[in-house]
Structure 1
Amino acid sequence: MQGNRTVTRVHTNHFQITSLPKDNFYQYDVRIEPDAFKARSREIVTKVQAENPRYFTPRAIYDGGKIAFSTNGGIPTTPFVVQLNPRMAPFQVCFTGTGAINLSNHAACVKDGRVIASVINLLQLIVRQAPAMRHMWAVRARSFYTGQGERTLGGGLVAWNGFFQSVRPTINRIMINIDTTTTVMYEAASLLDSASNFLQMSQRDLERLNLESPNGKKLSRFLKKVRITIDLPTCQKWSKMGKPIAALVPQAGLYEFSKDGRPTTVQQHLHEASNTRVQHPRMFGVRIGQSAVFPAEFCSIVPGQFYKRILSEEQRTQLVGAATKRPAAKLDAINKAVSGTGQLFDYANSDFLRSIGMVVSSTPLTIQGEVIAPPQIIYNTPMTIRDGAWNVMGKTRLSQPVNIRAWGVIVFDPKADQRSGRAQKFIGCLHHNLNERGILVHPEYTPGSQKFHMMWADPVRWEQALNEIADKASYEDSTGKHKPNIIIVFLPASAAQLKKQIKYWMTAKRNIATQCMRSGKWEPCKDQYLNNVVLKINAKIGGANSYVAITEKILNNTMVVGCDVSHPPPSVETRPSISSVVASVDSRACFYTSKTQVQPPHVEMIQNLRQMIWDASEDYANYHKGRGAVPRLDHIIVFRDGVSEGEYERVATEEIGQIDDVLDRLGKVMPRPKLTFIVVTKRHHVRFFPMQGQPTNKSGNCPPGLVIDSELGSGNDFYLQSHSGLIGTSRPSHYIVLRNDMSWTPRQIQELCYYLCHVYASATRSVSIPAPVYYADVCMINVNIYLTC
Structure 2
Amino acid sequence: MMYVKLKYEDDQPVDGKVVGRKVIDKLQQTYHSELSNKDFAYDGEKSLFTVGALPQVNNEFTVVMEEPSTGKTAANGSPEGNDSPGGGDKKRVRRSYQPKTFKVELSLAAKIPMSAIGQAIRGEESENSLEALRVLDIILRQHSAKQGCLIVRQSFFHNNPSNFVDLGGGVVGCRGFHSSFRGTQSGLSLNIDVSTTMIVRPGPVSDFLLANQKVDHPSKIDWQKAKRALKNLRIKTIHGNTESKIVGLSEQNCKEQTFPLKLRDGSNDTVEITVYDYYMKKGIELRYSGDYPCINVGKPKRPTYFPIELCNLVPLQRYTKALSTLQRTNLVERSRQKPDERMAVLNDALQRSNYDSDPMLRVCGISVAPKFTQIEGRVLQAPKLKAANSEDILPRNGKWNFTNRKLIQTCSVDKWAVVNFSARCDIRRLIPDLMRNASAKGIQMDEPFEVFEESPSMRRAPVSRRVDDMFEQIKSKLPGAPRFLLCLLSERKNCEVYGPWKRKCLAEFGIVTQCLAPIRVNDPYLLNLLMKINAKLGGLNSLLQIEASRAIPHVSDVPTIILGMDVSHGHPGQDKPSIAAVVSSRQWPNISKYRASVHTQSARQEMMTSLFKPRGTEDDGLIRESLIDFYTSSGKRKPDHVIIFRDGVSESQFTQVINIELDQIIEACKFLDEKWSPKFTVIVAQKNHHTKFFQTGSPDNVPPGTVVDSKVCHPRNFDFYMCAHAGMIGTTRPTHYHVLHDEIGFSADDMQEFVHSLSYVYQRSTTAISVVAPICYAHLAAAQVGSFLKFEEMSDASSSQGGHTSVGSAPVPELPRLHEKVRSSMFFC
* From 393, 396, 401, the counterpart of 2:403: 393
Report the Cα distance in structure 2 between the residues aligned to 1:778 and 1:355, rounded to whole angstroms.
49
**Distance of 1:132 and 1:228 partners within structure 2:** 20
Describe how 1:23-172 pairs up with structure 2 within 5 A.
Answer: 27-33=1-7, 34-39=12-17, 40-54=19-33, 55=35, 57-71=37-51, 73-76=53-56, 77-85=58-66, 87=98, 89-103=100-114, 107=118, 113-114=124-125, 116-133=129-146, 135-148=147-160, 149=162, 150-171=164-185
Instruction: After TM superposition, give the deviation of residue 393 of structure 1 in Å.
Output: 2.2
Provide the C-alpha distance between the structure 2 equivalents of 1:665 and 1:502, rounded to a whole number of angstroms: 36
Cα 1:248–1:411 change in 2 (3 A) is farther
Would you say the 8 A contact 1:581–1:594 is kept in 2? yes
Q: 8 Å contact 2:569–2:603 — kept in the other structure?
A: yes
Aligned partner of 2:746 among 737, 744, 747: 744
Q: Which residue of 1 aligns with 2:294?
A: 285
Question: Counterpart in 1 of 2:645?
Answer: 639
Report matched runs for 1:606-625 at 5 Å: 606-610=608-612, 611-624=621-634
Alignment map for 1:669-708 (pairs within 5 Å): 672-692=677-697, 700-708=700-708
Q: Give the partner amino acid of 1:43.
A: K
**Structure 2 gaps, min length 5:** 67-96, 263-269, 613-620, 792-829
* Alignment deviations for residues 655-711 of structure 1 (CA, whole Å, 9 cap, x no partner): 1222222344566465x3211111112111111111126xx8xxx211111111111
Cα distance in 1 for partners of 2:755, 2:241 equals 61
CA distance in structure 1 between the aligned counterparts of 2:690 and 2:384, rounded to whole angstroms: 31
Find the residue that maps to 1:787 and give its secondary structure: coil
- Residue 354 of structure 1 deviates from its aligned partner by 4.1
Q: What RMSD, in angstroms, separates the aligned Cα atoms of the two structures?
A: 2.5
> How far 1:100 moved relative to its partner?
3.2
User: 2:200 — aligned with what?
Assistant: 186
> Do the aligned residues in 2 keep the contact of 1:470 with 1:487 (CA within 8 Å)?
no
Matched, 1:784 2:786: yes
Match of 2:592 in 1: 590
Q: Deviations over 1:288-337 (max 9, x none)?
A: 12211111111110000000001111111111123211111111111111
Residue number in structure 2 paired with 1:20: none
SS of corresponding position for 2:496: helix
Q: Tell me if 1:195 matches 2:173.
A: no
Tell me which of 724, 727, 730 is aligned to 2:729.
727
> In the alignment, which residue of structure 2 is the partner of 1:11?
none
Q: Secondary structure at the match of 1:96?
A: strand
Report deviation, 1:784. Answer: 1.9
In the alignment, what sits opposite 1:411? 420
Alpha-carbon contact 1:131-1:346 (below 8 Å) kept: no
Equivalent of residue 441 in structure 1, options 431, 438, 445:
445
C-alpha separation between the residues in 2 aligned to 1:786 and 1:292?
46
Q: 1:256 aligns with which of 255, 258, 266?
A: 258
Question: Alignment partner for residue 319 of structure 1, among 315, 331, 342?
Answer: 331
> What residue number does 1:22 align with?
none
Contact 1:242 1:302 in 2 (8 A): no
Q: Structure 1, residues 170-202: CA drift from partner, whole Å, max 9, x if none?
A: 136110100001111101120111111111212
The equivalent of 1:19 in structure 2 is none
**Residues of 2 paired with 1:229 and 1:452: CA distance?**
63
Give the SS at the match of 2:377. strand
Answer whether contact 1:227 1:245 (CA < 8 A) is retained.
no
Q: Note the C-alpha offset of 1:757.
A: 1.0
Deviations 1:256-288 (A, max 9, x none): 22334332211112233x222222311222111
Q: Quote the Cα distance in structure 1 between the aligned partners of 2:252 and 2:477.
A: 63
Contact 2:413 2:444 in 1 (8 A): yes
Write the distance in 2 (CA, Å) between the matches of 1:267 and 1:632: 79
Structure 1: tracts of 5 or more residues without a match: 1-26, 210-214, 417-421
Which of 425, 432, 443 is the matching residue for 1:428? Answer: 432
Q: What is the alpha-carbon distance in structure 1 between the residues aligned to residue 238 and residue 656 of structure 2?
A: 53
CA–CA separation in structure 2 for the residues paired with 1:703 and 1:301? 45
Larger mean CA deviation between 253-262 and 348-357 belongs to: 348-357
Residues in 2 aligned to 1:243 and 1:654: alpha-carbon distance in whole angstroms: 42
Q: Tell me the residue number matched to 2:543.
A: 547
The residue number in structure 2 matching 1:18 is none
Change in CA separation of 1:606 and 1:492 when aligned onto 2, cut-off 3 Å: closer
SS in 1 for 2:788: helix
Question: Hey, what does 2:219 align to over in structure 1?
Answer: 207
Contact 2:60–2:105, Cα closer than 8 Å, also in 1 = yes
Match of 2:710 in 1: 710
Q: TM-score, normalised by structure 2?
A: 0.82
Q: 1:283 to 1:582 in 2, by over 3 A?
A: same
Distance 2:361 2:659 in 1: 40
Residues 412-466 of structure 1: CA deviation (Å, up to 9, x unaligned): 33333xxxxx431122211111111111123xx25xxxx4325354443565665
Q: What SS is found at the alignment partner of 1:386?
A: coil
Asked if 1:659 corresponds to 2:668, the answer is no
C-alpha distance in 2, partners of 1:528/1:594? 28
Q: Which residue of 2 aligns with 1:12?
A: none
Contact 2:246 2:295 in 1 (8 A): no
- Distance in 2 separating the partners of 1:107 and 1:644: 22
Displacement of 1:402 in angstroms is: 0.9
Indicate which of 372, 378, 382 corresponds to 1:364. 372
- TM-fit CA distance, 1:475: 10
Distance in 2 between the 1:782 and 1:105 partners?
A: 46
**Partner amino acid for 1:333?**
V
Which amino acid counterpart does residue 71 of structure 1 have in structure 2?
Answer: V
- Cα shift at 1:58: 4.5
- The residue that corresponds to 1:227 in the other structure is 234
**Rounded Cα–Cα distance in structure 1 between residues aligned with 2:473 and 2:255:** 62
**Contact conserved, 1:145 with 1:163, CA < 8 A, in 2?**
yes
Alignment of 1:511-526 (within 5 A): 511-520=510-519, 523=520, 525-526=521-522
The 8 Å contact of residues 321 and 572 in structure 2, kept in 1 or not, is answered as: no
Q: Name which of structure 1's ranges 110-119 and 291-300 shifts more when overlaid on structure 2.
A: 110-119
Identity of aligned residues (%): 26
1:636 CA drift (Å): 1.1
Structure 2 letter corresponding to 1:646? S
Cα distance change on mapping 1:258 and 1:469 into 2, 3 Å: closer
Q: Provide the C-alpha distance between the structure 2 equivalents of 1:739 and 1:393, rounded to a whole number of angstroms.
A: 42
Structure ranking higher on relative contact order (CA contacts 8 Å, 6+ apart): 1
Alpha carbons of structure 1 residues 330 and 550: separation in structure 2 relative to 1, 3 Å: same
Q: Distance in 2 between matches of 1:170 and 1:543?
A: 44
CA 1:348–1:113 in 2, change beyond 3 Å: closer, same or farther? Answer: closer
8 A contact 2:382–2:394 mirrored in 1: no
Q: Is the 8 A contact 2:182 2:191 kept in 1?
A: yes
CA shift in 2, pair 1:56/1:253, >3 Å = farther
Give the direction of change, closer, same or farther, for the CA distance of 1:464–1:569 in structure 2 (3 Å limit). Answer: closer
Q: State the distance in 2 between where 1:219 and 1:46 align.
A: 37
For residues 356 and 614 of structure 1, do their structure 2 counterparts lie closer, same or farther at Cα, with a shift above 3 Å needed? closer
Q: Distance in 2 between matches of 1:301 and 1:75?
A: 43
Question: Structure 2 vs 1, CA of residues 331 and 112 (structure 1 numbering), >3 Å: closer, same or farther?
Answer: closer
Normalised TM-score (structure 1): 0.86
CA 1:93 to 1:410, structure 2 compared with 1: closer, same or farther past 3 Å? same
